[in-house]
Each structure stands twice: as C-alpha cells, then as structure tokens.
Amino acid sequence: MKVQTSAPWQFRTTAQVDPNKVNENMSYVAKLYEDVLGKRYGLSQITLPLYANASSGYKDGYTQEELTYRLVAPDTMWIEGIYLDGATVSGDCRVFLIDTATGLPPSDVADVDGYVVSATTTEATTVYANQILMNAGATYAFILTKNTTANFTTQKLDLTIHLKTDRFNTSGTDQYVALGYNGLFLNEATSTDATTFLTPSNSVSSTVSASNAQQRSLKCMAFVAHTFTTSTSANVLKWTIPSTDSNKGRSKIVRIDCYAVFDSNGAATHDRVQWQLKDKNTIVQLTAQIEMTGVKFGSTSQVVSIDMSQSSSGVESNTGQDCTLSLSRVDASTAVCAKSYCYLWVE
C-alpha cells in the first residue's frame, strides 16, 4: 500500500467540514497503520555442516560436543523449519534440539524424538516444519546422535535452520499496539470538542513514532572450521564478509558468538582459539578468544559471547570494501581443534 504524506481529503477554508471526509481520512490512516506496522517479521537461514570435510564425516565415536552445535538466541526468535540434506556412509542418525538449561527439547518441539536421518548413501532431504520459540538469551544445542544401536558415519549432511525474528517482540513480549477504531470516527453523537480530533490523532502519532525505534530484526550468518592446527593455512581459516553494491543495502554486524571444541588428541592443557573481525579499513573491531584451561580435551567446549552492540553502532562494510573474519590458534600447541564455529548477527 503506497503511503502518501497527506490524507486523501484536503479541506479548504471556504468549504464546510464534512464529517464523512474526516472519517475517510481516519480510515486511510488506520489501514496504513495495519499495513505498514504489520510488516514485522524477518527471516534468515544458516547451514551447519554435520561432517568435518569432504573426506571425513561425523561418527558416533566422537565426543558429544564434537557432534553438537550450540546457538544462543540474542533476541526472542523462532525456528521456522529444520532442513536436513545429505547421506550417511553407514548407519542412520538423528538430530536432537534441546534447551541447554533444561537438557530437554523446547516445549513446542513436535519431533521430540529428534530429526531422523535414515541410513542412505543416496542424497536425501527431509524438512521439519515446526515453529519453535527460542527465548532471548537462552542457549540451544543441536546434537547428532545414533538413531538405533548401529554406529553411524555421515558422508555429507547439512543442517539448515530457518530463523524468524519479530521487530515488535525481541524480548518475549509483543510490543505491537493494535489500533482501535472506537472513538476515531465522527458521527451525530460526536461532541464538538477539539479533543475529538486531537486525542485519537495524538495517540496514533505517538504509537507510530515509537514503532520507528522497533527496527531490529536480526539475521544470522554462520561460519565453521573443522580439524585445524597451528600449521593450518590462514587462507583456509579466513572468510570474507562481502561489501554490497549500495550503501543502502548494507547490513550491520551487531553481535558475534564463537565456540570451539578440541578432540582427544594432544597433551596440552592450555590452548586458545581466536576469532577476529576486521572492518573495511582492516582495523580489528573484535577479538574473541576461547580458552581451554586445565581441562583435558575431548569433552568440553568453552564459549565466548561478545555483544558488539556496545561498540560504535556495529560493524558494516562499505561499497567496495569487505570485512574479514579470521580464525587462528593463539598458542604453539600441537593439539587439534576439532571444530570451531562462529555466528555473526546482523541487522
């Protein structure tokens, strides 16, 4: 619906005020209110590989954390669907979604027994369309496990998660104010008081003005690296966050969440993995280090979550100038990092 900045009926000084014309103007505004403010949902999707690389899949002999992807919801959001695509080398498996605070699936998960990937060496796809609420600040985990007693090895298995955000509900409470029609229209019983015109118009104006601030609708980008050491080429552990063709099309990185898990190899008890985001001027905007201290590898992942909303309004690329995300090992250790992954949240 096209928005005009003047109401349909424009009154003239010498003309009588027709209440019906006033009502039509109010009706126009009311329809626009519902149409424009009704556009509230944003969608994005991420794909997480449930295999290490082209020559190595996930196996049930791996530690649980190696078979897990954790995800923190910065704002209230919904999983709109889960899509599994791929094949196994042997065995079948399933993906469980749990709330890490309870260890149980979220209450609105329809497939409490998990999302099954049947044993097949032929590429198969499965879609689970189930709206699942993710509470702001809560941590969720997607865990790959056996489906039966048989062992499994994935060949190529992509877990795609569809996410929906609501700009009027970022913290669990719906902030949308429905526009009531009562009292907005003139009739024979309407008093000839100035407030007849002013009260509803001021109320609508302030509500619409407040909605201007509700523009945050986060989208997610995911980056994953498997099985890397201190000798792994930096060119493999670097990602470009591309610039856009227009400054108007730029998205802004407002948050970064990073995770790392080490496998059971190596004897070191102290190691660090570092994700670093550089802006268009190659200036480091954020360094997130994940540290394993005094813990034997294989059973634990450390988490660093840094909210970049506290920085200078986030990081964004300019036309022709990319941002760069890089991953590295900080310490001179021979231990293998089984997996490290990072989520960038943009608006």
Partner 1 sequence: MAIVNTQTIAASDLNAIWASTLSSLQTQNQKLPATYWYQLDFQDPTSSDATILLNHNVVMRDDCILAEVVVVAGNHAGTATITVDNGFMIEPLTVSVVGTGATYTKATRNYTTNPFPLQVLTRGSILTVSLATTAASRGSRVQVSLGVRSYWRPSI
* Under rule CB under 8 A, residue 110 binds partner 1: no
Is the Cβ of residue 238 or residue 272 nearer to partner 1 in the bound state? 238
* Under rule CB under 8 A, residue 233 binds partner 1: yes
Of 29-37, 111-119, 262-270, 292-300, which segment contacts partner 1 by CB under 8 A?
Answer: 29-37
- Residue of 36, 68, 32, 71 lying closest to 50 (CA atoms): 68
For partner 1, the binding residues in 50-109 under the rule CB under 8 A are 52-55, 80-81, 83, 85-87
For partner 1, the binding residues in 292-331 under the rule CB under 8 A are 320, 322
Tokens 């840094």, residue? 306
Q: How many residues bind partner 1 (CB under 8 A)?
A: 93
Of 49-57, 92-100, 261-269, 282-290, which segment contacts partner 1 by CB under 8 A?
Answer: 49-57
Sign of CA dihedral 165, 168, 171, 172: negative
* Under rule CB under 8 A, residue 231 binds partner 1: no
For partner 1, the binding residues in 121-160 under the rule CB under 8 A are 123, 125, 127, 155-156, 158, 160
* Under rule CB under 8 A, residue 23 binds partner 1: no
The correct pick among 72, 98, 292, 346 for binding partner 1 (CB under 8 A) is 346
Is residue 284 within 8 Å of 332, Cβ to Cβ? no
The correct pick among 18, 35, 174, 307 for binding partner 1 (CB under 8 A) is 35
The correct pick among 173, 249, 267, 283 for binding partner 1 (CB under 8 A) is 249
Distance from C-alpha of 22 to C-alpha of 18, rounded to nearest angstrom: 7
For partner 1, the binding residues in 192-221 under the rule CB under 8 A are 193-194, 197-198, 201, 204-205, 208-209, 211-212, 215, 217, 219, 221
* Under rule CB under 8 A, residue 187 binds partner 1: no
